[in-house]
Structure 1
Amino acid sequence: MILEHRAYTLLPGNTAAFWQSQIDRGFAIAKPIMERVLGYFVTVGGPAEQIVHIYRFDDLPDWQTRLRGMYTVKALEPYFKIVRPLMAAQENSFWLPAPVAAATPLWNDRTDWMPGDKPVADLARYPRLVVEEEVLTMKPGKLLVFWPLLQQHGLAALAGLDETLIGCFFSMSGAQHRVVWYRWFPDVETLRARRETAAGGRAWGRYHKVLRDIYAAHETNILEPAPVPEMIPLFVEAAVKGRAAPVGGRKKASRRG
């Protein structure tokens, strides 16, 4: 499986219009990608008025068929004419699951979370829920060095944060040697409190001591779920129709279709 990360930077004042354009377009016509979307979000910490959407595809041919194929649907032409002028820039990147099973609890050899599975968290219970996107850029040649360090030191250091881990991935396109974590939190205050607690632990100090020699940059974004239920199946059970499964996804099998 691969993850696609898309970031649409909107022209100032267009966020509400973007969400409305999705509702007006409808979701049945966008079924091929809605079957693969994990969530749409808006940045509340990081780039201003940026829409981030994340998809899980089987592979690049699956992405090509589902997402790129939509551009040939004539019924979607009115939608594209409305939504594209709202944007200043578009970019995308592809990511692979980290080769450390504990860092990818929803996507590994045993499980494969998909829209229609039981949500990771209930937005109705946590209406102020946020997702933290944390990115570490390694120095050239240091990514392979990082994974044993994550296993040996990082899992313990990040345990408090990773209580609500969505997944850890590494870049397969665009900027190289990058690692991203997605974690959800009930609210921004909980995010900050957990970070402060983690940073005060001995395991945190040991982990960051060994990281100093291998990473080049560190950044975080805070993402807020889209205000449209169909666009956030990670957190809204009714968003995608399908057989519910335990939190953590279904047992892994072929997911094409």
Structure 2
Amino acid sequence: MLLLKKAKTPAKGRKIEDVEQQKERLVASKKKSQNIYASAAASAQKFEQHKAEVAKKAAIRKNDNRFALMVSAGAVALALILQLAYFGFGPGKTEPTPEVSANSALVPAASLAEGREWSGTIEVGGKKLELTLDGAAAPQAVSNFLSLANKNFYTDVSCHRLTTAGIFVLQCGDPNGDGTGGPGYSFGPIENAPAEDLYKEGYLAMARRGGDGSSMGSQFFIVYADSTIPSDDAGGYTVFGKITKGLSGLDSAIKAGTEDGSGDGKPAQEIKLGAIALQ
């Protein structure tokens, strides 16, 4: 009997061990489940954060694109405003019309134009263009041009400005090459300005300061395509002649555009004036 009792003791110990092992397995399983749930929660949180970051970046890109469009539209509008300002015209001006001052003794007499039409040629960018000057409609401007041409004033003088948006002109005649130069005098008045502000292809017109009808000198512009140039407080721009043949010779220089790619600036190709012959 004693031997049987001793044989039962180890079995009881094994049962106790089995229970403890089951408890340990339950605890381990619970911890594992908790770790899985925690990992899933962390992954979900990271996913939500990623979604938020993606949405934020998309919103920033959308705003950047909207801003870029606004800047682009603003740049186009600003270019047109600056071009209008350069010519000195535009709506909303309130300044009184300036008085036309008397010309100085340096200004050639209007009688030099003889009140008649002149014809001849002018070299522009190496191309010979045929032209006529209207000494009857614009005697002062024509006299000035005849006098300067006779002195070879324009020879090798560059055409410093090209406009290719809204207004289509090539401006020449400034010995400084930057729009600030002249013959050492200025004159007026404005003559033969188009009634409807329409400057037709081929027109030769005098450049001047905005609002000042007595600020013409040596600078003039060639209209290479019909352009509407609004008058300012001083009026329009003196049309003193017209290119009658050869204007297409300037096409390549015009198509080359400006140095900076804008619609108003220095021509990308050098364009100089050459010989002028008139009779």
User: Which category describes the TM-score, using the shorter chain as reference length?
Assistant: under 0.3
Query: Which of these two proteins has the greater Rg computed from alpha carbons?
Result: 2
Task: Report the TM-score, using the length of structure 2 for normalisation.
Answer: 0.21
**Structure that is richer in strand per residue:** 1
| Structure with higher helix content | 2
TM-score (norm: length of structure 1) = 0.22
